[in-house]
A and B are shown apart, each in its own frame.
Chain A
């Protein structure tokens, strides 16, 4: 009783979209010493049932996609970050203090359902 895989591959599969924020565009290059900007990548795309059987998706996504296929009131599995990395920022405050600060989980490296 396997669910028939929908015709045609998924048009907009869940994947990472790259977006670079240049601090100069925000006027923040005046106080952020480094980096020049940061990768504000994001995850977007569909998680149809056919996709949840591969592409580093969680078992939960598989079950949710299965339930959605049976009962559309159950929402689809969603496209979320599955691997994140930190960044460091070197900036100066108003007291002429130079600050190096690390932020965990700031950049999306991989997405999945």
Chain B
């Protein structure tokens, strides 16, 4: 058993103030598991690797974080006539990103649920905005601010990815700016028949299966010298 003193040193080395004590293990995101296993296989095969480049994502970086969404649904009423299914406030706690380094990727993933459900479902439109207003800490509910992305999918086919590098860089520069995101999803059924069964069905499933996460990749210059030359 290491002494507390040694443990502290080792945790410092890992850039951790103290040993985390998570209440429950999050499921390991597929992308991280895939990268980890590829690295382990290459190391076992004695293949030399550049640990400062994440080839699965095509970016440089030596630290990948997958932050879970800590927001909440704003309303879950039955779809309105314009097919609006749900509005959700998304919030990612960036305060954990303490170490110095360059942010090389910030990718929002919206997992709209398993493919099989929606083969014949109505088209779905996803509108993503920066949230405005006092946000989750104030009394009034957040409202949609600047639009970041609007994407239609012919019935959600698995995860949707949105590049939020500029937004997250901005938030990283000034944590007070991080008021979260405003997500609205519409199911576009047949206009003439109003809100039909399929739209309600799609909305109901979206409410149950929607998962949002933010993948952040940072590059620490101390651990990853800019030139590819090995340190002497």
Q: Is A92 part of the contact surface with B, judged by Cβ < 8 Å?
A: yes
Q: How far is the CB of B35 from chain A (nearest CB, A)?
A: 6
- Using a CB–CB distance below 8 Å, which chain B residues touch chain A? 1-2, 7, 14, 16, 19-22, 25-26, 28-29, 32-33, 35-36, 39-40, 43, 48-49, 51-52, 62-68, 93, 96, 223-224
* A93 and B20 contact, CB distance less than 8 A: yes
The total of Cβ contacts below 8 Å across the A-B interface reads 91
> Contact partner of B36 among A90, A92, A96, A103, CB < 8 A?
A90
**In this complex, which of A27, A85, A92 has the most chain B Cβ atoms within 10 angstroms of its Cβ?**
A92
Q: Is A100 part of the contact surface with B, judged by Cβ < 8 Å?
A: yes
Contacts of B2 in A (CB 8 A): 26
> Contact partner of A86 among B21, B29, B51, CB < 8 A?
B51
> Contact partner of B20 among A25, A34, A86, A91, CB < 8 A?
A91
* A33 and B7 contact, CB distance less than 8 A: no
Known contacts: A26-B1, A26-B2, A102-B39. The answer to whether A95 contacts B96 by CB under 8 A is yes
In the assembled complex, the Cα of A40 lies from the Cα of B115 at a distance in Å of: 44
Q: How far is the CB of B164 from chain A (nearest CB, A)?
A: 16
Contacts of A98 in B (CB 8 A): 26, 28-29, 32, 65-66
* A31 and B19 contact, CB distance less than 8 A: yes
Contacts of A30 in B (CB 8 A): 21-22
For the complex of A and B, 9 pairs with smallest distance between CB atoms: A102-B51, A31-B20, A100-B64, A86-B51, A102-B62, A100-B32, A88-B39, A93-B20, A98-B66
**In this complex, which of A25, A31, A86, A99 has the most chain B Cβ atoms within 10 angstroms of its Cβ?**
A99
Q: How many residues on A have C-beta within 8 angstroms of the other chain's C-beta atoms?
A: 29
Q: How far is the CB of B103 from chain A (nearest CB, A)?
A: 15
Contacts of B29 in A (CB 8 A): 98
Contacts of A95 in B (CB 8 A): 67, 93, 96
In the assembled complex, the Cα of A97 lies from the Cα of B62 at a distance in Å of: 16
Q: How far is the CB of B79 from chain A (nearest CB, A)?
A: 31
> Contact partner of A99 among B39, B63, B223, B224, CB < 8 A?
B63
In the assembled complex, the Cα of A84 lies from the Cα of B222 at a distance in Å of: 17
Q: Is A35 part of the contact surface with B, judged by Cβ < 8 Å?
A: yes
Contacts of B49 in A (CB 8 A): 86
